[in-house]
Structure 1
Amino acid sequence: MERKGISPRAWIHWLWIIFMTIVFVPHSVAQVDTASLTGLVTDANGAAIPDARVIARDQETNATFQAMTGADGYYTFTALRPGLYTISVERSGFRREMRSALKLSIGQRARLDFTLAVGDVAEVVTITDEPLQLQREDASLGNTVDNRRITTLPLAQRTWDDLLVQVAGTQGDPYTEQAGGTASGRTGGVNIHGTRSLMNNFVLDGQDNNSISTNVQELSTQVARPSIDSIAEFKVITSQYAADTGRAAGGVISVTTRSGTNQFRGLVYEYFRNKIFDANDFFSNRLGRKKPQRNQHQFGGNLGGPIVRDRAFFFADYEATRIRQGVLRIATVPLDAEKRGDFSASLGDELLFNGQRVPILNPDGTPSGQFVRRGQIFDPRTQVPNPRFDPSQPVSPLNPRFIRQPFPGNRIADIDPIAARLVALWPSPNLPGRANNFARTPGISDDQDRFTTRLDWRLSEGNDLFGRYAYSRRDRFVPGFFGGLADGTDTSAWGRNEIISHALTIGWNAVLSPKIINQFRFGYSRADAEAKQEPFGQGSSSDFIAGIPNNAEVQGGLPGVVVSGYSPRLGSPDFLPKFQRSEQFQFTDTLSYVRGAHSFRLGSDVMWPLRLDYLDVPATRGRVSFDGSYTQFAGGLAGTGAPLADLLIGWARNAALANLFIVHQRRYMYAFFAQDDWKATPHLTLNLGLRYDFGSPAYEAGNHLANFDPEAGRRARTPQEALAALRLAKDGDLADRALVRPDHLNFAPRFGFAYSLAESWVLRGGYGIYYNLIDRIGSEDQLSLNPPFLVNYNFTSDAFTPALRLSAGFASDTLSPAKVDVRRVQLRAANPNARTPYMQQWSLSLQRQFGRDWLTEVSYVGSKGTHLMTLRDLNQPLPGAKPAAVNDPDPNISFPARSLFFPYPAYGLIEYRDDNGISNYHSMEVTLDKRFSHGWTTRVAYTLAKSLDNSFEHLTSGGSNSFPQNARDVRSWYGPSDFDVRHRLVINGIWELPFGKGRALLRSGVSAAVLGGWTIAGSFNFRSGLPFTVTQSGDPLSLGSLSTTLPDLIGDPRVSAPTVERWFDPRAFRALPNGLNRFGTEGRNILRGPNFASLNLGIHRRFGLGAETRYLEFRWEMFNALNRANFGLPNRDLQSSSVGTITTLAGDPRVMQFALRLNF
């Protein structure tokens, strides 16, 4: 039940916020969705002209705005709607000068100077050329994607995700249906200047558009995603944004929706794809399989125009997408003989240890006369202590502490009946070999409906009001590798998803005087996301493993069965089913004030309340894992044992189970800022700003939170004392409710400069601090997922005693809060003194204009991340074999043994959120831009970069595992970021062929009819390979499930000519044997995956229908036009039979799309 009362301290807190809001006039996003224009008015001798009247007229709505020049000759317009303007300047004694077709873009701070000639004000000098805008007013880096590029470039998904990576300093792979998403299985994930993909700020019409869900369950980083044809402009600010923007430490992606104008304009369209026009993918071709199914329709339209001419306007847009597509799944499954317990074909040569053969011992410790062979399996049920063990010597295969007897003939005769039922669900191999020996082509379905409407109303001169509402619904099904009960899905982004979102924004711009403008925004958004496993509702997990509760809300399919060496798992993901329901309110306002050479902006932003109710609990249907420890030679000899054999005898190394618990998370944020853009000299502009950000730690409506107290935890000796040592949330101040102290020191200075070296040269640079108020790493708010609210049983045993026997199942009281043994429960904890993560960014760039149309910029950008959030096992034991006493149920026996290995002996796994992450980034960026003229435009962006960190993204599937090898030394995990791309090149362009009516050549006749109206558009994307780390499955060092095991590096793993069969040399790595008391020697992300390159092309033909704005357009678009096979990362598990091979694609094969668009 949600608490109703508010403490007196909380009332004082909110009264202070309201007071500051009134004093400073609230805000955060300020000019993100509008533009400003400034300039200097002089006479022919260069002297400033004061008191000149400057008028800006919106050419589409006839709205006019006025400004007066000051004593220094400067004028400034703030809060102008992006679009085309006519600017005129008049002053008695001078001729009136007018500039038409001036295009202002979203977030732009443009400058336009005038030189007036002496004469009669009735004389008008009109200049029609649009000036190319050098950025002479601010230091921000990024790019604006105008409406021409938005609507003309071939976009594979027809969303702004396709445009995000067209900007220098960004990194992100395209969405691919083959993978069910991007690298993270979600859209909107892009890394900007060394920041995590979930650290960006998405802004829609000036309001926050970011998902606040714990794991981006909406399959998008944004709440609302209007169709591409409803967007007016799109801007990516990658660095050095002003103090009026905050909340996140990465880039700012700002989108403005279209408005109606004085002309009725409409569009109806249909986009169509079918497999008959597409190429087959690389792996299907290789296996002789037919092209997967593809049938895609995207249709919709929009209409905009005046309600009252020059006064009120409307715009409405609808789009629907229907996708049916087959995807190739390649898996590694057991051989049929092995599922029957027959491992005789796996027997190999005799193994050596330190150059000696390893004898198989009789139960009395004497040699049996036989020697251990590769692939041999041993029966742990025959295990006895070795009476001849020499305690003065290290444990080794030649001095084992225990003795096991081999299975006769390497065959298991007495298979566990539960295991027999489970392995029978695995499909038989349908491809040769032991690795990558099963292929299936199931079908994806993805249905979306999106609706956006906007109203603009000019209440009076200087008072403008707008409202925008966006709705979307998405129903998506991504099948697993096997289907049915077997499912075969590792990621909770797959399965059946239903996502519904609503987003409302209301904005009011008021001109209080020629020098003062106020902007108010209100925003509300809601997102409901629900995901279920494919076999939801089909049977119960307790049908296979006893003791799993039967709960209709989560049941369906198998418990998760993870067997090392076979990929994917048998069964469904741990975190399915799940749901999240988020709701956000935002109030912002900005006061802009121009005084002389200073342009001030003051404001604040209040986001309250932020509500999130979610079910996101692991293993509610149970999970068991098998790694081969129990059928291995008891002396820990690598090359013996088999994970599947462990399953067949029913001995699990790890077992997990959790009860059902729904969290009602609450939080709020607010910010204040002051910004001064000061024209210090006619050639130098300084951007000076200071921002204060506050984001509350997450708390729970019913105070259902518990945090681990390290000091109290060290004193606990029994499970009862350990449970009592947890800190529970209570009514009181924010720290009492959140169990984490709020950080009130988030002051963020911003400095930038723009210096005009000459008429066509500008030098720009700056420095800023940017705080990340919501850091989504998968455990940022999960203190609710602790006893006594959630019991998350997660137990990894030693290599001698199983965590669970399948035949016995879970004990009936496993999830009883009254009988919780915290040594076998996963806790989630947070550093109560953690600081807010922040990035420091600095840059220096040189901009040069060539002629009338060309602009180039060379930039250096650096960033440093501090206090980045990380996850680790706070109770990670020392590596090495543990005595059986550590798992003894009697704490009097287990505590002394555990105290030798565990920092907190009375506890088990402690997933700890800390603020010890760091990052470092440096890049050189080159951009070449030609504006549209003479029928063509192009943009080239190249980035040379290096990104290092120890703070991985837990919600993405990069090249290194989420948890560090050594949890006691997170800095040892420092290395190339998972998204470290050294080279990235993007090129896009549009070319209207110079033939036909209105073009340079063949303007009439048959030739014009045939050759006229053609346009070619395209984009090219290249990046060098992503880094990855080779790992070792299982738990040979007995560290628990929240650790990554790295093998020893004993050679050079690189190969001269890598292929999909052998991308790296696994022989350069040596697997760690069970019981080793040190970590592996491999470093993080030392290898690189394949490069990526793709060319997208579009050929358009326009057929006029009378008026210039009325035409029918045919489009033929090709994505990956050259059909280049772009491969994913290789299998990195050294224990897998398919290690080093590649079976996935990072992009789709060539796909063709046809479209008809009727514009009127």
Structure 2
Amino acid sequence: MKSKALKVFCLLLVAAVPSFAQTGLGSITGVVQDASGGVVAGATIRLTQTSTQVSRTTAANEAGLFTLPAVVVGTYSVTVSQKGFKERKIENLGMNAFQQVSLGQIVLEVGGATESVTVSATAEQALVKDSAVRFATVQAKQVSEMPLAGRNWINLLKVIPGAVPTNSNALNGREYTATGYADFKINGKSGNQTQVNLDGGSIVDQGSDAKTSVAPSLESIQEVSVLTNNFQAEYGTRGGTVINVVTKSGTNQFHSTMFDYLRNDALNANAWANNYLGQRRPRYRFNYFGANLGGPIKKNKLFFFYNYEKFLQDIPATIALSRTPTDLERIGDFSQTVTNAAGQRPVIFMPGTNLSGNPVLVPGNVIPQSLINPLGKALLGMFPKQNITNNPLQNYSLQVNNKQPRSSNVVKSDWNVSDTTRAYVRYTFDNGVQEDRAQGANWGNLEGFTKRPRPDKALAASFTHIFSPTIVLEALYSWNYDQVQWLPSDPDGNTKTRYGLSGLPTVFKPTNDILPSVANTGYADFSFSRMPAIATNNEHQFSSSVTMTKGSHIIKIGGQHIRNYKDEIDSITDGGDRGTYDFGVSASAFDTNYGPANVLTGALSRFQQVKNIKRKNAIYTDVHAFIQDTWKVKSNLTLDYGIRFYHIPTQHQLYPTDTLDAAFFPSKWDPAKAPRYYTYDPANPSAVIDPANPSVRYTGQAATILQWTIVPGSGDPLNGVLALGSTGVTNSGVRNPNFVLFAPRGGFAWSPGNSTKTVIRGGFGWAYNRIGIGAAINDFENNLTPSVDYRQTSLTTLSSASGLAPITARSFGAQDEASNKVPTVYDYSMSMQRELPMGILMDLAYIGNMQRHQSMTFNINAIPLGTAFDPKYIRPGVTGANFFGTVNASNTGALPGSNTVDNLLMRPYKGFNTINMNANVGNLMYNSLQISGNKRLSHGLMVQMSYVLSRLDSGTENPGLYSNNWKNYSGGLAGGDGGDRRNVLSVNYTYDIPSPTKLMHFDNKVSRMLLGDWRMGHLFTFVSGQRTWVTLGSIQQAGSVANVAELQKLFLGTPDLDPRLVLNGSVALNNKDISHYFDPTKLSVPGKYPAADGTGVRNYLERPASFANDMTLTKAIKINEKHAIELRAAFYNAFNQVRRNSLNTSTQFKANGKNFSDGFTLFNTPELQAARNPNLTGTALYNQYRTGVGAMNLTDVNVMRVIEIGLKYRF
């Protein structure tokens, strides 16, 4: 079977050579008839582009059918002539990318050759009569006139039916983050399934798969076309949406635009949070300026277009409130410190005394100077001084400005080589350096920025040749290159030397002096795991196709070849080569029961480090082939069917042995070879032993170093692990899919009763998505590098030379040996399109898809349910705890799971920590009713609207443990998906406002200049809220203000699964307000396993809806017929409306006693938080009230009104 598939595939490739294309070109078809309905074979059809006068001809075949494939975007005239008939000419025919324009029956009247009949294209030509493909287009006028936040082309997607934006995308400019268009789902498909082309060439960054390498300037865009569902076989490199951005071209006349767009904080409304906190408007500067020029190099033959744009942005980030050490805390005095809204003090023990069950409190919460570690003191000294005095929990406010200077260059040349040959080439070069605090690092509240140089390039070259009226060749080569670096803005700004931390102990020598990762300090943690780093993506694509017309069939055959290289060097991994220092509370001999005190004393719950940084040097090569047929069965019925073939082997490292890649193979793991761990001696809990040799005890520093590490020689620490690229092992940790995958497509378009006003269309098809680089590479790279993972240690212990070389359990990625499926999308649709009076086109459609075999990641070494309850995992010498607090003489009865050995000892694959496996087992289903309408430009008005009622169900969210029935945890396909937005409404229009001068009887040159040539644009989108549910955030002990530790173990007997609250009726409220969006009292704490197993209803709550209301007002001042000046004002959130959608869905409960049977009381409703603080007044009391569960986040408000001023000069 495989050999037969291979032969078919190879035959198609040979037939397609040099075919391979999806350039985003359109086509025109029609049938030539005489007045009696008879076909007119041999009629000559001439297509002429209005702007360049470039023309081509074809002829009607024996069935009267003609086709003009490979038509570039633009406006055309079509002339049909035949001896003995009057010439018929259709003018102003618009062509969009992907569009298949059907001219229907073109009736020639008997007459002389010098006679002609000229008509203008109407809305009838916009009816999709010959294709079932679902597509939408944003026209040139919309691109120019719509209010687009940040002047970002991505926001054009808001008007596409089925698109679900979050309404926050790229307000402040080009989207260069790793999630450039990921906040858009179209027909329920995620952004990383989207294929984005610029002039037919891919510009997708093959890393995040959700951003583009270059970001074309709006001034360079002619239109944006989108294939949304069940598209033809020639499209489908990815299974999601196909977007084609078309660049402007030169014409027979020289045209130029010079432009400048400005924003300034003086024009903007202040942020709501700034007003609330009494802060002034932050600096906000925005300047986009540039120019373009297009025209003929040789008239009717060779044309050029060039666009340059410079972006200068100085934009505020969101205000970040955090906690920073007070002056007293920096010297060890926590006597004035509070830990929660109730003003309660921390409970601090003398180091290690809590472990024994007889904790000794630090007197007065002031740590003795003799216990303060100099490095710990230096760590606290890094944090900034507090600048808020009335909020001890958030006493530091930070708002910085992000800078994004960037330039964009686009040059395009179109060449009409001959009447039968046409070519174009377009080159784009973007360059800039982005500075912010959000990329590649977590700066916490430390000073500094991440600097990201971005030199990005893209090229597309297209060639079209007409061999005969019935055979046309299209070919396309594209190159896509993007590079990004992550660097500190100040080379010395985040170094250990600067902060006096050069002496921080490590096991391996770090590659540089940059600060390590620091976690669980009780303040704003920081991490610079991706600094410095560099990532380069280099992709070449070649595609082409041959279109043949045979009778009533239009047959297309072709394919595509893709070669992608990804080279990335960074240190993003657990611990990194500089180490991760975790000061969280733990059951160690150094712990103080309070994170900030642990920092000062140097008590570490965990230290991690790897020796080498990671390196991706990955490649993939895809080959696609397709064949499709558009069959005009009758004049009113077209069938469109085809099949696409995929050869998409998994992305892999070029030299995995050099990059130390390895994978865990479950079938290779031998329980007999599992190693042992050093554990605490039951007879002497302060000592560590090898269980197989208990007579040898390790105490003191040696015990601290060896605890929970692997006993040398006790087994194979790489049991089941194989080095990728070694003998007999593939270069990838993910199995290759079948050599050839098949994806049929089909559909119909039917005009009932030969109607010229109505078309009914339906179709189906499926496509495949290759597994992303994250799943294919990330979990396997650098796995064989030496690493350490020390638990419950200290800065002092790490600094001490012991001569010991502990072997720590490591994490690996596992290969799914059971399946080689790849993510698959099955599309289907049924729709009716109707032309209404006044040139209005309405479309009513059912759109759906099933997404099967979607990638999910499971930890196959997760601890099974109930394991922590097993008495054999009790840690010797640790008394444990219950819901009242630590067990002691007055509080007896430890809860199972509260005093366990380290998690490593409970994991099923002994000798390993986390083992993540990518399994393509997830399913999603999307169903929608979509209504859209548009009015093409007439009388100065263009309108487009859409409404979508949809449901996205998912079985991919919050799965349980893979060894158990994980589908019970995700809910199968019940309960909706977190990305499910039930209602989406989009309305946009552009309107040339009529001049009132004649009505005012004041019609002269001055009045026409002042009152004439005004235009208005408006874009409104409404998106219903995201689905979510309420979580169990924490439980406070009955006997203190401390939170109960390790809830997962106490409730479910595993740390790898969260308990879910029990839903006791609907949480919906009839009368919502800002502090009471839902009713949390309908939720209760679950029981203990096995009474509760972590399953439960999800996504039963809908977050607040979001909307955008943006407008533009433009005034044109005509100097003469060829020269004009435009003044433009854009208003984003024009009416300065407050838009909140952040909601507190985390509950806090108070234990009523020490056991489960004593029950729990909801603790953090707004009323309860206010009642616990009767002495607070004013803002402080309001803060407590507004942060309760069920309340909306008061200060998390979408951007208030932003005004942009623009100036253009055109000729």
The normalised TM-score by structure 2 is 0.81
Q: How does 1:996-1035 map to 2 (within 5 A)?
A: 1004-1029=1004-1029, 1030=1031, 1032=1033, 1035=1046
Give the structure 2 partner of residue 232 of structure 1: 222
Give 1:987's aligned amino acid: V
C-alpha distance after superposition, 1:139-188 (max 9, x if no partner) = 12231001110011111121211101211111122446799998986322
CA distance change for structure 1 residues 760 and 641 in 2, over 3 Å: closer, same or farther? farther
Residues 1045-1097 of structure 1: per-residue CA shift (max 9 Å, x gap): 34534666666666666656667667799999965466444433222112111
CA contact (8 A) 1:445 1:478 kept: yes
Q: 1:656 aligns with which of 587, 601, 608?
A: 608
Q: Does the 8 Å CA contact 1:43/1:115 hold for their aligned counterparts?
A: yes
Structure 2 counterparts to residues 343-362 of structure 1, below 5 A:
none
Aligned counterpart, 1:808: 797
Whole-angstrom CA distance in 2 between matches of 1:164 and 1:479: 28
1:850 is the counterpart of 2:836: yes
1:158 to 148, 151, 164: 151
2:915 corresponds to: 910
1:87 matched to 2:78? The reply is yes
Task: Note if 1:979 corresponds to 2:979.
Answer: yes
**Aligned equivalent of 2:140:** 147
* TM alignment of 1:210-229, pairs within 5 A: 210-213=204-207, 215=208, 221-229=211-219
Name the SS of the counterpart of 2:454 in structure 1. Answer: strand
**Secondary structure at the counterpart of residue 912 of structure 2:** coil
Deviation (angstroms), 1:764? 1.0
Q: Output the CA distance in 2 between the equivalents of 1:947 and 1:649.
A: 51
Q: 1:147 corresponds to which letter in structure 2?
A: A
After superposition, residues 593-604 of structure 1 pair within 5 angstroms as: 593-604=548-559
Shift of 1:1142: 2.2
Structure 2 Cα separation of the partners of residues 709 and 484 of structure 1: 34
Q: Is the 8 A contact 1:528 1:579 kept in 2?
A: yes
Pick the aligned partner of 1:1103 from 1111, 1117, 1138. 1117
The answer to which of 39-48 and 300-309 deviates more is 39-48
Query: Whole-Å Cα distance in 2 between the matches of residues 670 and 1042 of structure 1?
Result: 44
Q: Distance in 2 between matches of 1:310 and 1:482?
A: 50
Q: CA deviation at 1:27?
A: 5.1
Q: Which residue does the alignment assign to 2:718?
A: 723
Matching of residue 1116 in structure 1 with residue 1129 in structure 2: yes
CA deviation vs aligned residue, 1:487-520 (integer Å, no higher than 9, x gap): 469xx9x832221111111111010110110011
Q: Aligned residues: percent identity?
A: 22
Q: Structure 1 residues 503, 483: CA separation in 2 closer, same or farther (over 3 Å shift)? A: closer
Residue of 9, 21, 35 corresponding to 2:13: 21
Pick which of 53-62 and 655-664 moved more: 655-664
Q: 543-552 or 748-757, which moves further after superposition?
A: 543-552
CA distance in 2, matches of 1:70, 1:105: 25
Paired residue type of 1:665: A
Counterpart check, 1:321 vs 2:311: yes
User: Aligned-pair RMSD on alpha carbons?
Assistant: 4.0
Q: Distance in 2 between matches of 1:964 and 1:285?
A: 44
Q: 1:1087 to 1:131 in 2, by over 3 A?
A: closer
User: Matches of 2:1096 and 2:489 in 1, distance apart?
Assistant: 38
Q: For residue 556 of structure 1, report the CA deviation from its aligned partner.
A: 2.2
Tell me the distance in 2 between the aligned counterparts of 1:813 and 1:454: 67
Contact 1:939 1:988 in 2 (8 A): yes
1:13-92 matched pairs, under 5 angstroms: 20-25=12-17, 29-30=21-22, 32-92=23-83
Distance 2:900 2:325 in 1: 43
Give 1:331's aligned amino acid. Answer: L
SS at match of 1:722: coil
Query: Compared with structure 1, are the counterparts of its residues 248 and 481 closer, same or farther at alpha carbon in structure 2 (3 Å cutoff)?
Result: closer
1:138 aligns with 2:131: yes
Deviation of the 1:870 alpha carbon = 1.2
Alpha-carbon shift at residue 86 of structure 1 (Å): 0.8
1:349–1:948 distance in 2 versus 1, CA, 3 Å: closer
Tell me the secondary structure at the aligned position of residue 289 of structure 1: coil
Q: Match of 1:97, as an amino acid?
A: R
1:498 to 2:453 alignment: yes
Contact 1:731–1:737 (8 Å) recurs in 2 = no
- The alpha carbon displacement at 1:468 in A equals 0.9
Contact 1:879 1:1077 in 2 (8 A): no
Indicate if the aligned counterparts of 2:734 and 2:816 stay in contact, CA closer than 8 A.
no
- Contact 2:333–2:367 (CA<8 Å) still a contact in 1? yes
Name the residue aligned to 1:390: none
1:845 to partner: Cα distance: 1.1
Partners of 2:145 and 2:857 lie apart in 1 by 43
Structure 1 range deviating more: 999-1008 or 616-625: 999-1008
Partner of 2:110: 118
Alpha carbons of structure 1 residues 579 and 1036: separation in structure 2 relative to 1, 3 Å: farther
Q: Which amino acid aligns with 1:425?
A: M
* 1:737-756 equivalences in 2 (<5 Å): 740-756=735-751
SS at match of 1:780: helix
Structure 1 residues 839 and 403: alpha-carbon distance in aligned structure 2, compared to 1, 3 A threshold: farther
- Kept after mapping to 1: 8 A contact 2:944/2:989: yes
Determine helix, strand or coil for the equivalent of 2:300: coil
Write the letter of the residue equivalent to 2:452: N
Read off the aligned partner of 1:60 and give its amino acid letter. Answer: S
Counterpart CA distance in 2 for 1:978 and 1:932 is 38
**Is contact 1:316–1:451 with CA below 8 Å preserved after alignment?**
yes
The yes-or-no answer on 1:507 pairing with 2:485 is no
TM-score, with structure 1 as normaliser = 0.84
SS of residue in 2 equivalent to 1:826? strand
Letter in 2 for 1:759: T
- Map of 2:1038 onto structure 1: none
Equivalent residues of 2:440, 2:486 under 8 A apart: no
2:847 match: secondary structure: strand
Distance 2:555 2:832 in 1: 26
Closer/same/farther in 2, CA of residues 1087 and 478 from structure 1, 3 Å limit:
farther
The answer to whether the aligner puts 1:107 opposite 2:98 as a matched pair is yes
1:188 matched residue in structure 2: 181
Equivalent in the alignment of 1:709: 665
Aligned to 2:759: 762
**1:827 — aligned with what?**
812
| Structure 2 runs not aligned, ≥5 long | 676-709, 877-898, 1035-1044, 1149-1163, 1165-1183
Distance 1:632 1:164 in 2: 57
Q: For residues 139 and 452 of structure 1, what CA distance do their matches in structure 2 show?
A: 34
Give the aligned residue type for 1:1159.
R
**Whole-Å separation in 2 of the counterparts to 1:753 and 1:1146:** 47
CA contact (8 A) 1:175 1:181 kept: no
Q: Secondary structure at the residue paired with 1:976?
A: coil
Question: Are 1:1032 and 1:1047, in contact at CA under 8 Å, matched by a contact in 2?
Answer: no
Give the corresponding residue for 1:692: 645
Tell me the number of residue pairs that the alignment of Structure 1 and Structure 2 aligns.
1067
Indicate if the aligned counterparts of 1:299 and 1:321 stay in contact, CA closer than 8 A.
yes
Output the amino acid matched with 1:58. Q
1:998 and 1:615 map into 2 onto residues whose CA distance is: 68
DSSP 3-state at the match of 1:296: strand
Per-residue displacement from partner, 1:336-362 (whole Å, max 9, x unpaired)?
366645367759999xxxxxxxxxxxx
8 Å Cα contact 1:485/1:535 also seen in 2 = no
Distance 1:1083 1:850, change over 3 A: same
Show the 5 A alignment for 1:380-529: 381-383=352-354, 404-408=359-363, 412-413=367-368, 414-427=371-384, 428=386, 430=388, 432-479=390-437, 487=445, 495-529=450-484
SS at match of 1:1117: strand
- For 1:1090, the equivalent position in structure 2 comes to 1104
Q: 1:1050 to 1:46 in 2, by over 3 A?
A: closer
Task: Provide the C-alpha distance between the structure 1 equivalents of 2:111 and 2:443, rounded to a whole number of angstroms.
Answer: 86
State how far apart, in whole Å, the 2-side matches of 1:1155 and 1:19 are: 56
Distance between the aligned counterparts of 2:1135 and 2:277, measured in 1? Answer: 21
Distance 2:801 2:1135 in 1: 59
Q: Distance in 1 between matches of 2:13 and 2:733?
A: 25
CA shift for structure 1 position 331 = 2.3
